[in-house]
Amino acid sequence: MAAILALGLGVFGRILGPKSLRFPYRSGSIAPADYRALSSQPGWAARQITVAPGIRLNGLVRRPKAPDAPWVLFYQGNDAQMLKVGQAFLSRLGATRDWGLAIFAYRGYDSSDGVPRLPALAADAPEILAQLCATEQVDRGRVHLIGFSIGGHIAVRAMASAARLSPKPPSLTLLASVDDIVMVPRSFYYKFDPGDDFRTSPLLADIPGPVLVVQGTKDEALQGPGQGRAIAAALGPRARYLELEGVGHVELMENEPALAAVRDFIEAHSK
């Protein structure tokens, strides 16, 4: 009965409701050998954190040498190889810098426990930051937050919660972040499932500066730069907006001008 009701509501919403971009959650498992291979990269180690009873997330951490070095916590996008792609991005970003680097796979991704649904991901967002600070013994005031695609929405939720505490994270960077899309669990009625609405702009009133918003003009996933522009406009003077001509969605994580801008932004706001 519940499935029939959900299907009916989904059909009704799809016909009469507003049309948003829709994507399936690309959750899945990672082979233990592949996880070990990622964690054996120079300087990197596997980390697991518990964000809720019975929910453990798999992650990767690269610790800095200096005890007062900046840290970067990366909230990755919707990727079937979340840890691999996220680690590669952080390695490019950190390069030769003595920064702490960390990424954790969301519920259901890369063999983390649980199922990805927005209420759970939203609750986990600040807990990931809190658990990183606790397990690595790092002060929240040294952890810069970066979010890519749906990870931008999740990073915004983490910052909104952390901003009420002292110290708060020193900066937030949003790369090709979503402003209004729908994420849907993979199922036989995927096309009719109302899904989870990732709407970011309503959350931005609680976000303090400084924020860096980076968007490519050829973002094929989000059908152009409109969502990044909307986020930057909602943030107003709290944000710096950088738009890169001809750069696509995933390409943004490998684009050197984008990486250089993020590095400069983090260094400018590190103690």
Phi, psi at 163, each rounded to 5°: -65, -20
- Measured CA to CA, the distance from residue 80 to residue 233 in angstroms comes to 31
Q: What is the dihedral of CA 24, 104, 130, 46, to 10 degrees?
A: 160
Task: Let me know the angle formed at the C-alpha of 106 by 122 and 184, rounded to the nearest 5 degrees.
Answer: 70
Mind listing the pLDDT tens digit for each residue in 157-169? 999 999 999 999 9
Considering the chain, what percentage of its residues have pLDDT values greater than 70? 91
- Measured CA to CA, the distance from residue 93 to residue 72 in angstroms comes to 10
Domain boundaries of the chain, sorted by first residue: 2-268
The top-level CATH class assigned to 2-268 is alpha beta
Q: Nearest CA to 174 among 133, 138, 145, 143?
A: 145
pLDDT band at 8 (very low <50, low <70, confident <90, very high): very low
Phi, psi at 73, each rounded to 5°: -105, 120
Tell me if residue 121 falls in helix, strand or coil.
helix
| pTM for this model (two decimals) | 0.92
Mind listing the pLDDT tens digit for each residue in 222-268? 999 999 999 999 999 999 999 999 999 999 999 999 999 999 999 99
> How many residues are given for the chain?
271
Q: What is the mean pLDDT of residues 44-67?
A: 97
Token duo for residue 176? 């090709």
Q: Nearest CA to 191 among 2, 35, 5, 13?
A: 13
